[in-house]
Amino acid sequence: MAAKLMVGNWKMNGSLAANASLLSEVLAGMGGKTCRAAVCVPAPYLAQAQALLAGSALALGAQDVSAHEAGAYTGEVSADMLRDFAVRYCIVGHSERRQYHGESDVTVASKAQRALAAGITPIVCVGESLAERDAGQTEAVVKRQLAAVIHTNGHCISEIVVAYEPVWAIGTGLTATPEQAQHVHAVLRAQLQAATAHADRVSILYGGSMNAANAADLLAQPDVDGGLIGGAALKASEFLTMLKAASR
């Protein structure tokens, strides 16, 4: 398995001044870190981040991509447009996109397909709500969500990244226990192994209120290959602490 992958998701946060300060601090503190790292920034800041990250070990990521290649889709951003900004990763199917924008499993699979076709690694998010977990449906939900992506992208499924983000733990301060995270990650790993002989190439990240205090315990689990980090990625000191934990 490759080095752990830590991805900061800035969500709808940032400004030109704040971005410059944050990235400067993160880049200054990355010396000696052996994990892979990226930041997924809002689309208006891709050009700024591309310039600031050029030649660094911190990769650039986007937060969404259109399921369409091009055309009359006002407000959408295509994979080819992202590629123009040297985007390496793109989040698809984040729970906030599924919840607030009605994205279906099929839509998420199509977005992953567009990203892959453009040479961008999709970070495919899967996760269950609290009601689904309480009903004992966690495994069924995440397997259904991933199955759609495997069905559409089976020939190159080993080129994706998967992020398990329990919906009930996103932005709530609640976090899955290391044991809960490991259980779901193992389920996803087995599903990938059944789909491709190269499942060992797929990093499975944990997303869901990972922070500087709990990162080490989560990352110590055998099937947790990194993190998709929200609020903590907006604080340079916290993000760097987590990169250090991932570099052990």
Looking up tokens 């944990």 gives 206
Residue pointed to by tokens 């604080």: 235
Catalytic residue among 94, 96, 159, 185: 94
- Residue 165 appears among annotated catalytic residues: yes
**The pair of three-digit structure tokens given for residue 114, joined into one six-digit string:** 């567009």
Identity of the residue numbered 45: Y
183 is catalytic: no
Reduced 3-state DSSP string for the chain: CCCCEEEEECCCCCCHHHHHHHHHHHHHCCCCCCCEEEEEECHHHHHHHHHHHCCCCEEEEECCCCCCCCCCCCCCCCHHHHHHCCCCEEEECCHHHHHHHCCCHHHHHHHHHHHHHCCCEEEEEECCCHHHHHCCCHHHHHHHHHHHHHHHHHHHHHHCEEEECCHHHCCCCCCCCHHHHHHHHHHHHHHHHHHCCCHHHCCEEEECCCCCCCHHHHHCCCCCCEEEECHHHHCHHHHHHHHHHHCC
Catalytic residue among 96, 128, 165, 238: 165
**Exposure string for 61-73, b = 16+ CB within 10 A, e = fewer:** bbbbbbbeeeeee
Q: List, by residue number, the catalytic residues.
A: 94, 165
